[in-house]
Chains A and B, each alone.
Chain A
């Protein structure tokens, strides 16, 4: 029988239209890119029984199971149910009424993250944990939003190419009486970070305007004169993107904000999109909406009612940069 399917529904179910007619691929969400191995057994079985025996590791740290017959979607949804149950419902705490019906949305992409504090000594937060908390806030949702979490300003997950890059920060706390003036922190800060630390008269002066909260000084200090503020802080960079129109690196929006500010801003962003999205298009990426409304409208909307912690700093202006793929750029 000729295929007669509603591709809108298929796509929202996290299946995609592929280059081979009749075949689809299922996108499996893995928030933070970290999963228990038991789920791999399920994915392997689906790939072997319904796909072509391969799994694709996506750029967003999920898995894609290719080579699936579009007609078999309901059967596969049954099989992926336990993954949705375990990851989305039991771990992330999301309310999904019918896990056997497959993924309820695909617009908001998997929350990617670097390996973070569970493994990396440089990380300033447990990125996997934060990825799951964000997943709970933003999923399921059909709006096209890309969010990544990274443990330190090295930004290994490339949060700067996302709509939202959430960067874990360490506020270094200085104990004057423990500092021996060895210069380990200031030399290292100058070599690998921003030179925010100056050694003078055997003690360190920290230039708060230069400090990016990477936490390197804490790692270098041999006497624990530098320690971490146990409160966790984040930097949010926004509206970075690749893409055909105007690729650009994300710009700082908020810095030294706490977790609840991060969550509130993300939540409010969905209301902002709902209000300003161009509904005549099949989809519109949040970055282009901000291009249209301008930064101040976005800023005021998503911060409305958000209680900024006292340490928080907010960008007054954003110079977006990026480039246009215009023909006049090229000589030949």
Chain B
């Protein structure tokens, strides 16, 4: 059902939700950006509309809500271990279609990848309700249309920002109840972006030709990529982590097991005993990431590419490597 609500009514709804839900949305952290005078936009908890940055693309994706950058798995002593306390509140996330599609990619990795579901991912994931932020114009470096992620039906409510009133498409009984008697009933379904400035062609193949793994195109990335890892930390579908036992400095018999984001582009990712490492050249790291995003994932799950085309990797790359262009290069070579 469609509704049109005022700012006050929207804020009232957020206030009502706040009792049982933590509400996450892109937030602007003024003058917290990399360079002086610039802002950082990332997900954070919000309590009112004016905290939601709906006009700009966030530098980081929403994955940190469901797959925290650092997470304590358990605390241990010599004889016992215990789980950290978890938040019981539900989770409402304001997200663009590409990112909602990204979460379903993460679901495959954490929940449908082998026999075991990832307990730590599942816990918050089961509590999520998406409020889809209508996205019809896109941003620099977006290529969601090429990845078929410009649309989503998997939302509980959709919202159109930017007018005097907020237009809502409510699909979930929960939100219908919350908004009972509020605003004006209207016809509204959200629009989706139909064309990005960047277009990407995926290779149409069943098997990646073996020659692609040694292709000289990767050598160029060895000279350009600095393996800083920004493309992977900003990516919504990069889900790799490392697990470490951290012992208490004063009493090493107790401590915690922690999992922390890691990635093929972060130092030490494939380091093994004896100093071996699988992908030492940065071009090899680039190849691994690229083929995982556009080929390996699909081989495993049969659900298209892993990449959702949010373009955050290209936004973040300090040496101006374009991932979308890299995909196009692969496609042209196979």
Contacts and interface: CB of A to CB of B under 8 A. Distances in A.
Interface stretch (A120-128, A278-286, A323-331): A120-128
A202 B40 contact: no
B233 A228 contact: no
A117 B36 CA distance: 6
Contact of B260 (A124, A181, A227): A181
Interface residues on B, range: 20 to 34
Interface in B223-271: 228-230, 232-233, 244, 246-247, 249, 258, 260-262, 266-268
A72 B328 CA distance: 67
A178 B244 CA distance: 16
B266 A179 contact: no
Contacts of A223: 60, 69, 233, 261
B32 A228 contact: yes
A227 B59 CA distance: 13
Interface residues of A, number: 33
Contacts of B15: none
A170 B36 CA distance: 8
A33 interface: no
Given A180-B70, A184-B228, A222-B230, A202 B260 contact: yes
Contact of A126 (B29, B37, B262): B37
Contacts of B207: none
Identify whether the interface residues of A are mostly helix, strand, loop, or mixed: loop
Contacts of A219: 34-35
Contacts, number: 79
A180 B266 contact: yes
Contact of B244 (A123, A125, A202): A202
Contact of B246 (A184, A201, A220, A227): A201
B31 interface: yes
Contacts of A287: none
B30 interface: yes
Contacts of A232: 36
Contacts of A176: 70
Contacts of A187: 267
Interface of B: 29-37, 40, 42, 59-60, 68-70, 228-230, 232-233, 244, 246-247, 249, 258, 260-262, 266-268
